[in-house]
Amino acid sequence: MTTRVLILGGTFEARKLADALELDQSFEPLLSLAGATEQPEDGKSKRRVGGFGGADGLAQALRGFDLLVAATHPFAARMSANAAAAALASGIPRLVFLRAPWPEKPGWQHAKTAAEAMAALPPGARVFWAAGRQAFATAAARTDV
């Protein structure tokens, strides 16, 4: 019996999982990408690109699948919520991939707003910017790049 797996991608690990499952004849993976990346990496697995129309649309799409793997980008809060609701509504088991948070490094500065972060930067600084689930709730500016 073949296990049909819908993998909600967005992470490097999702692509690796889909490609690994493709090599195992007991699985039939389909990697679903939101379409935010213009040229996603090629892989061995079957792919689809685009949304589902919310939790209800995803629940409908899960018909015919045996497992849902939610391996979206850590900031994809809406998709994560839709995946949870769709799995519950459809009765399909859901496996969630949680990526470990980045460890804070010396030189990182935290700010509550974009303006506060920009004001803390020295002139000409090279910056890496990360924002949490709520816009600018957690922002880090790294100037030691």
Query: Are 36 and 66 within one domain?
Result: yes
* Residues 57, 27 share a domain: yes
pLDDT tens digit at each of 145 positions of the chain: 899 999 998 778 888 899 999 999 999 999 998 765 555 556 566 877 888 889 999 999 999 999 999 998 877 888 889 999 999 999 999 999 887 777 888 877 778 888 888 888 888 877 777 665 443 333 444 333 3
Contact 25, 36 (CB under 8 A): no
18 and 74 belong to one structural domain: yes
Domain extent at residue 58: 3-96
Whether 73 and 24 share a structural domain: yes
Residue 103 lies in a domain: no
Instruction: Name the 3-class secondary structure at 77.
Output: helix
In a shared domain, residues 51 and 78 = yes
- Structure token pair of residue 60: 């409908």
CA distances from residue 87 to 3, 65, 69 in whole angstroms, order as listed? 16, 11, 10
Same domain membership, residue 36 and residue 76: yes
- pLDDT value for 118: 80
Predicted local confidence at residue 131, as pLDDT: 60
CB-based contacts of 23-28 (< 8 A; 24+ apart in sequence): 26/1, 26/2, 27/2, 27/3, 28/2, 28/3, 28/4
31: domain CATH number? 3.40.50.720
Q: Are residues 24 and 56 in the same domain?
A: yes
In a shared domain, residues 87 and 127? no
Structural domains in the chain (count): 2
Same domain for 73 and 21, yes or no, is yes
Q: For position 41, what pLDDT does the model report?
A: 58
Q: Are 118 and 69 found together in one domain?
A: no
Task: Read off the tokens for 138.
Answer: 């957690």
- Residue among 90, 101, 105 nearest 132 (CA): 101
Q: Indicate the pTM of the whole model.
A: 0.69
Compute the distance between CA of residue 123 and CA of residue 92 in angstroms, rounded to an integer.
Answer: 52
Residue 78 in domain: yes
Same domain, yes or no: 64 and 29: yes
| pLDDT value at residue 136 | 36
Would you say residue 46 lies in a domain?
Answer: yes
Question: Tell me, what's the pLDDT at 37?
Answer: 52
What DSSP assignment string belongs to 7-42?
EE--SHHHHHHHHHHHTSTTEEEEEEE-S-SSSPPP
Q: Is residue 55 part of a domain?
A: yes
